[in-house]
Amino acid sequence: MVMGMRAVAGAVALLAVSGGAWAQDGDPAAGEQNFMQCGACHQVGANAMHLVGPDLNGIVGRVIGSVEGFAYGEATAAMGADGTEWTEELLMEYLVNPTEFIGGSSRMPMMYPDEQFRRDVIAYLAQFDAEGNRAE
């Protein structure tokens, strides 16, 4: 509960800073290229499996730290315990610094400071539903 509230407060703060330029403005084709940097640890698509990180099918709208069959770090699982879902806004914030966002130790060690990079990769991920079907 407390963690979820924190995430929402963070998203509101970010909105104030960046003036609401979100992944809707992202380029999925560029994001597909960007995703190659995630691909060592994550998959999307029809046959996506968990690697070092969980599969990311349907990540926009998926409850944080909730996918079946993946052993999340404690802090990540706790953040989703109240049902908080990933939005494009929260993903924008998360990818800057997962450990800071989670407010505990994240098992995802990467940081992606480039705003356009994040916007594009999120626009790409947003095309996949929970079954891994990609929207045209």
Least separation in angstroms between CB 11 and ligand HEC: 14
107 belongs to the binding site for ligand HEC (CB under 6 A): yes
Which has the closest alpha carbon to 17: 86, 98, 93, 118? 93
Beta carbons within 10 angstroms of residue 45's beta carbon:
14
Least separation in angstroms between CB 120 and ligand HEC: 10
103 belongs to the binding site for ligand HEC (CB under 6 A): no
Segment lying near ligand HEC (by CB under 6 A), choices 2-10, 18-26, 40-48, 127-135: 40-48
53 belongs to the binding site for ligand HEC (CB under 6 A): yes
Of residues 26 and 65, the one with the C-beta less far from ligand HEC? 65
Could you give phi then psi for residue 66, rounded to 5 degrees? -120, -5
- Which listed residue (121, 123, 126, 128) binds ligand HEC by CB under 6 A? 121
Which residues would be at the binding site for ligand HEC (CB under 6 A)?
37-38, 40-42, 52-54, 56, 59, 64-65, 67, 72-73, 76, 91, 95, 106-110, 112, 121
